[in-house]
Amino acid sequence: MKTLLRSRELSCPSCVVKIEKALQNVPGVESATVHFNTGRIEVEHDPAQTGVSRLVEAVRAAGYEAEPSAF
């Protein structure tokens, strides 16, 4: 399943790798892409193993607030 998160707090492109790695280390996440320019975070994950709230939690642990978005 693909989940889209949006964050309004990305301030330096160095956070891109930080958030991507944090998400990729969550079990059940296949891939994570952070777009610095728009603040869009695309996560490919197994919903049975990892819910959306767990993804938000992982981004928060990396130091940023993000919200799920429909499109």
Within 8 A by CB and 6+ apart from 19, the residues are 7, 10, 32, 34, 41, 59, 62, 64
Count of residues touching other proteins (by CB under 8 A): 28
Least distance to other proteins from the beta carbon of 62, Å? 6
Residue from 30, 44, 47, 61 binding other proteins (CB under 8 A): 61
* Residue 53 sits in the site that holds other proteins (CB under 8 A): no
Least distance to other proteins from the beta carbon of 48, Å? 23
Q: Which is nearer to other proteins, 5 or 48 (CB)?
A: 5
Stretch (H or E) spanning 44: strand 40-45
The rounded distance, in Å, linking the Cα atoms of 11 and 1 is: 28
Helix (H, G, I), strand (E, B) or coil at 22: helix
* Residue 71 sits in the site that holds other proteins (CB under 8 A): yes
